[in-house]
Structure 1
Amino acid sequence: MDSLTQIILGAAVGEAVLGKKVGNKAMLYGAIAGTIPDLDIISSYFTDTVTALDIHRGFTHSIVFSLIFGPLCGWLVSRYERYKDFKGWAWLFFFAFVTHPILDAHTTWGTQLFWPLDERLAFKTIFVIDPLYTLPFLVFLILAMLQHRTSNKRRVYNTTGLIVSSAYLLLTFFLKWMAFTKFESALEEQHITYNQIDTRPSPLTILWSANIETEDAYLLGNYSFFDTQPIAFVSYKKNHELLGDLVKNEKVQRMIAISKGWYTLIEKDDKLLYNDLRFGLLSLEEGSQKFVFQYEIVSDDKGNVQFVEQEKNQRDGKKLLSDLWTRLKGN
Structure 2
Amino acid sequence: MDPLTQGVLGASLSQSASKKQHLVVAGVLGLLSGMAPDLDAFIRSESDPLLALEFHRQFTHSLLFIPIGSLICALFLYHLFSKRCGFSFKQSWLYCALGYGTHALLDSCTTYGTQLFWPLTNERYAWNTISIIDPVYTLPILILLVLATCMRAPWLARIAFLWALIYPTLGMIQRDRAEASGWQLAQERQHTPIRLEAKPSFANILVWKVVYETESRYYVDAVRVGTSVNTYPGESIAKLNVSRDLPWLDPDSQQAKDIERFRWFSNGYIAQDPTDALRIIDVRYSIVPNQMKALWSIKLSKAVDANTHVKYETHRDNTSESRQILFAMLTGNK
In the TM superposition, what is the alpha-carbon distance from 1:235 to its structure 2 partner?
A: 1.5
Could you tell me whether the CA contact under 8 Å between 2:131 and 2:200 is conserved in 1?
yes
Query: Which stretch of structure 1 is more off in the superposition, 49-58 or 225-234?
Result: 225-234
Structure 2 residue identity aligned to 1:107:
T
Q: How does 1:258-277 map to 2 (within 5 A)?
A: 258-266=265-273, 268=275, 272-277=278-283
Relative to the length of structure 2, the TM-score reads 0.87
Quote the residue 1:52 is aligned against: 52
Could you tell me whether the CA contact under 8 Å between 1:57 and 1:111 is conserved in 2?
yes
- Compared CA separation, residues 102 and 231, structure 1 to 2 (3 A): same
Query: Which stretch of structure 1 is more off in the superposition, 85-94 or 68-77?
Result: 68-77
Quote the residue 1:102 is aligned against: 105
The alignment status of 1:147 with 2:163, answered yes or no, reads no
Q: How does 1:15-34 map to 2 (within 5 A)?
A: 15-34=15-34
Distance 1:64 1:318 in 2: 44
Aligned residues between the structures:
321
Q: How does 1:148-227 map to 2 (within 5 A)?
A: 148=152, 154-202=153-201, 203-226=203-226
CA RMSD after TM alignment: 2.4
The alignment status of 1:323 with 2:333, answered yes or no, reads no
Quote the residue 1:253 is aligned against: 260
Identity among equivalent positions (%) equals: 27
CA-to-aligned-CA distance 1:171-199 (integer Å, 9 cap, x gap): 21111111111111122123223221121
The alignment status of 1:119 with 2:123, answered yes or no, reads yes
Could you tell me whether the CA contact under 8 Å between 1:251 and 1:305 is conserved in 2?
no
Could you tell me whether the CA contact under 8 Å between 1:263 and 1:277 is conserved in 2?
yes
Alignment partner of 1:278 out of 263, 284, 303:
284
Could you tell me whether the CA contact under 8 Å between 1:2 and 1:129 is conserved in 2?
yes
Structure 2 residue identity aligned to 1:222:
A
Distance 1:181 1:49 in 2: 37
Distance 2:288 2:171 in 1: 24
Distance 1:121 1:168 in 2: 19
Quote the residue 1:306 is aligned against: 309
Alignment partner of 1:136 out of 128, 135, 140:
140
5+ residue gaps, structure 1: 149-153
The alignment status of 1:232 with 2:236, answered yes or no, reads no
Could you tell me whether the CA contact under 8 Å between 2:287 and 2:322 is conserved in 1?
yes
In the TM superposition, what is the alpha-carbon distance from 1:228 to its structure 2 partner?
A: 6.4
- Compared CA separation, residues 273 and 222, structure 1 to 2 (3 A): same
Helix, strand or coil at the partner of 2:182: helix
Structure 1 residue identity aligned to 2:99:
A
Could you tell me whether the CA contact under 8 Å between 2:136 and 2:204 is conserved in 1?
yes
Could you tell me whether the CA contact under 8 Å between 1:74 and 1:89 is conserved in 2?
yes
In the TM superposition, what is the alpha-carbon distance from 1:251 to its structure 2 partner?
A: 2.4
- Compared CA separation, residues 141 and 57, structure 1 to 2 (3 A): same
Distance 2:39 2:321 in 1: 29
Helix, strand or coil at the partner of 1:316: coil
Structure 1 residue identity aligned to 2:280:
Y
Which protein has the bigger helix share?
1
- Compared CA separation, residues 167 and 15, structure 1 to 2 (3 A): same
In the TM superposition, what is the alpha-carbon distance from 1:27 to its structure 2 partner?
A: 1.3
Which protein has the bigger strand share?
1
Could you tell me whether the CA contact under 8 Å between 2:222 and 2:231 is conserved in 1?
no
In the TM superposition, what is the alpha-carbon distance from 1:95 to its structure 2 partner?
A: 1.6
Query: Which stretch of structure 1 is more off in the superposition, 72-81 or 163-172?
Result: 72-81
Quote the residue 1:151 is aligned against: none
Query: Which stretch of structure 1 is more off in the superposition, 41-50 or 65-74?
Result: 41-50
- Compared CA separation, residues 258 and 76, structure 1 to 2 (3 A): closer
- Compared CA separation, residues 78 and 283, structure 1 to 2 (3 A): closer
In the TM superposition, what is the alpha-carbon distance from 1:120 to its structure 2 partner?
A: 1.2
Distance 1:71 1:26 in 2: 15
